[in-house]
Amino acid sequence: MSPKHISFVFLTATLYAYASPVCAEPTTPAMSSSPVLASSGAVEVTSSSSSVRSFHGIHLTASAAGSKKYRANRLEKMFNETMINAVVIDIKEEDGYVYVPGVKMAERAKAYVREIPDLENWLGELKKRHIYTVARIVVFKDKIMPQNDPSLGVHNTNGELWYDHKHITWLDPYNREAWRYIFLIGLQCAKIGFDEIQFDYIRFPTDGALSQMRFKKPYSRAAASQALVDFLHEAAQVIHPLGAKISIDVFGLTTSVNSGMGIGQILGPMAAQVDYVCPMTYPSHYAKGEYGIPNPNDQPYRTIHLAMHDALKVLGPDGAHKLRPYFQDFSLPGRGIRYGPKEVRAQLQAAADMGIPDWTLWNARCSYTLSALQTPVTPASNTYQVNVSSR
C-alpha cells in the first residue's frame, strides 16, 4: 500500500467518525443500467434513455427516524418538494446498539433500544408511498456484543478483548457465530418490511494497536478479503429468500485501489455477491493529492467523476446499475470549502455524467440541502468519457 493510500485509510477512519451519527415484494425503484466500454485508457458510458425511477436517498439516524416531529417538519418536506424517494435508516450502529425489535440475541445482550417505537407500521406507510427503505447495519464494529460474549470478539496477544483507538471492541470477521448475529438482525429487518439490508463496517479495523490483534484464524490480506466475500455470500443465501436486496458500504478508495488496503475490501469480488455497492466517496475524506487533485474537497465534481470512472472500470459493463455512491452534504472544519447547494449538486452531476443516476446523501445531523435536490440532474450528454491520462 502506498503512503497516500495508507493516509486515506486513516484519514477516513478519523473523519468518518465526525460524519457518523451521534445520536411483501420490495418497492425498489427500478434501476437503469448503462453499458461500459473500456478503450485506450478511457471508460465510455452510454446513458440509458429509459424513464425508470432511480434511487435518490438520504441517511437517517435512528433518533431522526423515530422522531415524529422530524418526520412531520423535515422529512415530509423532502418527500414532497425534492427528488428524494428512499431512506437509509440506522438499525445497528458502531456502538453496538440495535434499533429493530425481535432479535433475541440483541435483547439478551441489552443491545436493543426502542428508538423507533412504531418502526414496522411506519415502514408500511412508507411502502404505500413508494418510498424505498434500507436498513443500515454496522457489521463488525460493536461495543456491546463482544463484551457480552467475548468468544465473538477480536482479541489481543494476552487473550483479552482488543480495543481500537476509541476503546471500542470489534466482532471477529472470521467468526461465523458473529456472522450469525448480524444475519439475525438482517433477517428481522427483512421480515418487518425493509426493502434492503445495507452492511456498513464490512471490514477489518483500521486504527488502534493493529499488530496486537488476534483473530479466530491467522490474518492475511488474502484471507481477510475472502472472509468478507464469504460473509456476503452467506448473507445473500439467508436474506434474499425473504425478498430483500443487499448492499454494502465501502471506503471510497476501493474504486481505485484493489489491494484491500489491509482491511479486506476489494470492490470487485465483494460487488459480485451483492445487489448494490455504495462507495463512501466523500471528497473531504480523500487525502490531498489523491487523483492528482491538490485538495479533493475543493473539487467535488472532478473528485467524484474520477472515482466513478475507476469504479466502472472495476465493475465492468453491468457496473452502473450496481453503483449507488454516498455523497457528502456536510462540511468538515479545516478541510477547505463549505458545502452548500453548488457542491452537493456538483457531486450528483459528476455521477450523472458517468451514467450513474443513483446515490445517497450523508449528513450526521440529518439536515439536508433541499435547494440542491428540487430538480432532476440532467446528464451533460448521452456519452461520457474520462481519460485516465488526463489526471
Q: What is the pLDDT of residues 43-57, one digit of tens each?
A: 443 333 333 579 999
Reply yes or no on whether the pLDDT at 378 is more than 90: yes
Confidence of residue 26 (pLDDT cuts 50, 70, 90): very low
Q: Which residue has the higher pLDDT, 301 or 11?
A: 301
> What separation in angstroms does the CA of 296 have from each of 68, 349, 384?
37, 16, 21
User: How far apart are the C-alpha atoms of 76 and 79, rounded to whole Å?
Assistant: 5
What SS3 class is residue 26? Answer: coil
Q: Are 171 and 146 a contacting pair, CB within 8 Å?
A: yes
Query: Residue 258 burial by CB count (10 A; 0-12/13-18/19+): exposed, middle or buried?
Result: middle
Reply yes or no on whether the pLDDT at 66 is more than 80: yes
pLDDT at res. 27? 54
CATH 3.90.1150.10 matches 3-22+33-382: no
pLDDT at res. 48? 36
How large is the greatest C-alpha to C-alpha distance in the chain, in angstroms? Answer: 60
Reply yes or no on whether the pLDDT at 390 is more than 80: no
Give the ranges where the chain is alpha helix by DSSP (H): 3-19, 62-65, 68-70, 76-81, 104-108, 119-128, 145-148, 176-192, 221-239, 267-271, 300-315, 319-322, 341-352
pLDDT at res. 321? 92
pLDDT at res. 228? 98
pLDDT tens-digit readout, 199-229: 999 999 999 999 999 999 999 999 999 999 9
Reply yes or no on whether the pLDDT at 320 is more than 60: yes
pLDDT at res. 289? 93
Nearest Cα residue to 376 out of 128, 54, 130: 54
pLDDT at res. 254? 84
Grid coordinates in use for 216? 479466530
Taking the C-alpha atoms of 342, 136, 224 and 148 in order, what is their torsion angle to the nearest 10 degrees?
Answer: 140
